[in-house]
Amino acid sequence: MRSYEILVGVSAGIAAYKTCSLVSRLRQNGFGVSVAMTKNATELIAPKTFEALSGRPVLVHLFDERRDAIPHIEPARRADVFCIAPATANVIAKAANGIADDFLSTLILAFSGPLILAPAMNCEMWRKPAVQRNVAQLREDGVIFVGPEEGHLACGENGVGRMSVPDVIFDKICQTLSGIK
């Protein structure tokens, strides 16, 4: 059986702590896992945490002399599936509009396989027409969404905006991989 490569993107949502469990589960199930984080996400979870869980260096800076000459292309070419969890309103907007101004958003444009987004944000943000337009555009473009769920949010409110649990995201990744020849 072929070993699949999963690229996991982590943006700056408080739900990033859940992504640690996702990365751990992927690796425990034999997947190769590379993690790319936004600079702001590193304020919530240290890259060393994801390095320990994935067994690989974490990708944060677009221009890092330790990496290949074209660092935003190689991880995108190697991955079978790219999953961004949490996917903030900011990352969703960048993906929908082709904006590539950091490592994570550049990887989105360089990646040609199945892209899975697990949104996480305040319920008021999720309901904004601009966010819904971006989500509709990405769905039309073939992007796969997991969630968001309804429930208690980090801000103390209840509503739609909670990131799906890692098991649900893991299952969606496996389901997506089953469709790859």
Catalytic-labelled residue, pool 20, 83, 123, 155: 155
Would you say the C-alpha torsion 62, 107, 130, 132 has a positive or negative sign? Answer: negative
Query: Angle formed by the axes of helices 103-110 and 89-97, to 10°?
Result: 40
Phi, psi of 92 (to 5 degrees): -60, -45
Reply yes or no: is the peptide bond before residue 148 cis, omega within 30 of 0: yes
User: Residue written as tokens 């209840």?
Assistant: 158
Q: Give yes or no for a contact between 154 and 121, defined as CB atoms under 8 angstroms apart.
A: no
Burial of 174 (0-12, 13-18, 19+ CB in 10 A): middle
Q: Confirm whether 155 is a catalytic residue.
A: yes
Spatial CB neighbours of 7, under 8 Å, sequence gap ≥ 6 = 34, 35, 36, 75, 76, 78, 79, 81, 82, 83, 107, 111
Q: Which residues are known to be catalytic?
A: 155
